[in-house]
Amino acid sequence: MKKLIIILVTCFPLFCTAGWKEVSKNVEYTSYYVDAEKLKRAGKFVFIWYLVDHVEPRNTGDMSEIHYLKILCRDMRYMRLKSIYFGGNMGMGQITDDYVPLNFDQWQFPREGTAFSIVVGYACGLAEMENY
């Protein structure tokens, strides 16, 4: 029984991070991940979950954040529909904030050359593949 508990505790983080694929990193060594398994296409729109994992806690104490986006790939613009912040890395630990952004219905453009712009481009590339 003790061995089973050790195996489960050791493997649990693997199950929590199984869908995340690292796609970019910024100059502060913050990593950006996309959950390719949950990518959805609805007409001309692509919907993705992406995770931002920080090396050091932000001034709010958060170590990671997960966002849900609606993307219009032909224009490379997006709407952030949901944001969730966590006290631990990789979306683990206590949820410190969970909200729908005030500007959720406004199109935004990622700044060129940023780690986030790579996330949007990666999601659009995945959506163009035959499997999606």
Instruction: Report which of 11, 91, 21 is spatially closest to residue 53, judged by C-alpha positions.
Output: 91
* E-state strands within the chain: 20-25, 31-35, 40-42, 45-53, 64-72, 77-86, 95-99
**Residue 8 in tokens:** 């489960």
Residue 130 has pLDDT above 70, yes or no: no
Fold for 19-128, please state it: Lipocalin (2.40.128)
Determine the pLDDT at residue 128.
Answer: 87
Cross-strand partners of 32 = 24, 52
The count of other CB atoms within 10 Å of the CB of residue 120 is 23
Query: Domain boundaries in the chain?
Result: 19-128
Q: 32, 49 in Cβ contact below 8 A?
A: no
pLDDT digits 0-9 by tens, 71-99: 999 999 999 999 999 999 999 999 999 99
How many Cβ atoms are within 10 Å of 46's Cβ, its own excluded?
22
The confidence band for 129, taking pLDDT boundaries of 50, 70 and 90, is: confident
